[in-house]
Amino acid sequence: MLKGKLKLPRPLPIPDQLGSLIAGGSESEEFEFGEELEPIHPAALRLHRESDDAEEAIDNDDEGGGGGNGMDHKTRQRLSKDTINRVSVLKSTSEEEKRSDLEHELSQREINLEKLQRIASTGIPDGGGLRATAWKLLLGYLPSSQDLWEKELKENIQKYSNLKEELLLNPSEHIWREGKELSSENQHKEGDSDGLLRRHEISQEDHPLSLGKASLWSRYFKYTETIEQINRDLQRTHPDIPFFSGESSFSLKNREAMKNILLLFAKLNPVICYVQGMNEVLAPIYYVFTIDTHKQNAVSAEADSFFCFVRVLGDSVDHFCQQLDNSSSGILSTLSRLSDLLKVNDEQLWHHLEFTTKVKPQFYAFRWITLLLTQEFKFESILRIWDTLLSNPFGVQDMLLRVCCAMQLCVKSKLLGGDFVANLKLLQHYPEDINLEYLLQVAQDISPDTSSYCLSL
């Protein structure tokens, strides 16, 4: 048996098998929380000043009736277009610089994790497999020394293959293999001179109708309902994205791989088993690893996704266990920490939500926290948020709470003007047009120990 051979970095209090798996703007600008902001391109903040100057010049020209500077309508259009182009060019240059920095860091023989965290926290550029490699490093799945990567990945692929064969294989295949091996052994010992075929005997435990605890079939059928639930949830996972949905061979293959991962997790963790929503947490990981442009990495995507999925859940798995809801590591304790974090950073907003409108975190943040915000934003935004979550040196849960707190701070004005119904609707259906980079900057500037808050944009 393979259980007990791999260990998580942090032991969990649950007596199951999870622990056995894995060893700016200008200085004069001020922002108020809740202020409705136009989308900000952080890389282009300097040019926003230029844009303002251009608009002011146009306004002055309009007031002068077209005299003075003598700018006609076409000139004004060209000026506005040129400004937009300069902003786009600067943003593109910033992305290329970030890509270059990240590629350079990932090419080092010994990866500087702190530097990687700093780069990745600002967002990892799409393409080239950068995000896949960076996430594996940030999660501690890959060692910092590149010399060990190939050996580590091969070992993990083999471990995953063995786990699947041991726990996911249909009992009839187990029996057939054992019978074939036994038959081959007997023929080797006795010879086949008499030409008689010998029948493989089936024990009571091997019979499909056996109800015994030791029966392979009994253990197999025990997870029938779990498999059905996983299949239903996978059908609903990002139905607007062809990678996950539809009946193409590609999407079917992806759902089958995700089912294997979730079912294997359930069997190795019988206390937690599978909980609805785990499919949403797995989706970004499996997607990022599968679209990796490096062929070998894409081939091992299922195995890599399994081990990284376990690591992501490592410090939040108690949130899925109802028996631990009231414990110090349970979901209610985490929701209380979120409330405290908001109180420290904006007592006015905290009081309005807690006492005036009585919108408790349990009503909206339960899903935020347990599903790592995978239901609150578009898929591309989820990947960007996870870059920041996984890059946090204090851990995913720490940054997750800071992002959740920032989500409230960034809609402060609407929340202060809303009643119970309006605020509940707003927080359960978070605005899609929020400036994500600004929100993440607010989150990063919240002190992890909740003792202070300083917005440094």
Question: What confidence tens digit (pLDDT) does each residue in 387-434 have?
Answer: 999 999 999 999 999 999 999 999 999 999 999 999 999 999 999 999
Say how many domains are in the chain: 3
pLDDT in tens, 5-21: 333 344 333 334 444 44
Residue 305 belongs to a domain: yes
Residue 435 belongs to a domain: yes
260 and 331 together in one domain: no
What pLDDT score was predicted for residue 120? 96
Q: Measured between alpha carbons, how far is residue 269 from residues 53, 88, 116, 161, 170 in Å?
A: 61, 49, 32, 18, 19
Domain end among 292, 315, 338: 315
Confidence of residue 128 (pLDDT cuts 50, 70, 90): confident
Domain end among 315, 349, 376: 315
Residue 70 belongs to a domain: no
Query: In sequence order, what are the beta bridge partners of 145?
Result: 110
303 and 399 together in one domain: no
Confidence of residue 184 (pLDDT cuts 50, 70, 90): low
161 and 309 together in one domain: yes
What pLDDT score was predicted for residue 188? 52
CB–CB of 114/96 below 8 Å?
Answer: no
Q: Measured between alpha carbons, how far is residue 41 from residues 48, 103, 123, 167, 386 in Å?
A: 9, 23, 13, 49, 19
Residue 88 in this model has a pLDDT that exceeds 50: no
Confidence of residue 383 (pLDDT cuts 50, 70, 90): very high
**Which residue range is the domain that position 222 belongs to?**
150-169+207-315
299 and 374 together in one domain: no
Does residue 136 or residue 60 have the better pLDDT?
Answer: 136
Domain end among 297, 315, 333: 315
What pLDDT score was predicted for residue 212? 55
Residue 183 belongs to a domain: no
Residue 272 in this model has a pLDDT that exceeds 80: yes
User: Angle, to 10 degrees, between the axis of helix 249-268 and the axis of helix 149-167?
Assistant: 80
Q: Which residues contact 214 (CB under 8 A, 6 or more apart)?
A: 205
CATH number at residue 99: 1.10.10.750
274 and 358 together in one domain: no
Q: What is d(CA 92, CA 43) in angstroms, rounded to the nearest whole number? A: 9
Q: What is d(CA 227, CA 262) in angstroms, rounded to the nearest whole number? A: 9
Does residue 65 or residue 283 have the better pLDDT?
Answer: 283
434 and 408 together in one domain: yes
- Longest Cα pair distance anywhere in the chain, in angstroms? 113
CB–CB of 389/403 below 8 Å?
Answer: yes
| Percent of the chain predicted with pLDDT > 70 | 67
Residue 75 belongs to a domain: no
Residue 390 belongs to a domain: yes
What pLDDT score was predicted for residue 171? 63
156 and 295 together in one domain: yes
Q: What is d(CA 135, CA 437) in angstroms, rounded to the nearest whole number? A: 19
331 and 428 together in one domain: yes
Residue 355 in this model has a pLDDT that exceeds 60: yes
377 and 363 together in one domain: yes
Q: Measured between alpha carbons, how far is residue 126 from residues 33, 372, 387 in Å?
A: 30, 21, 11
252-269 average pLDDT score: 97
284 and 160 together in one domain: yes
Confidence of residue 179 (pLDDT cuts 50, 70, 90): very low
Phi/psi for 393 (5° steps) reads: -65, -20
Residue 79 in this model has a pLDDT that exceeds 50: no
Query: In sequence order, what are the beta bridge partners of 446?
Result: 453
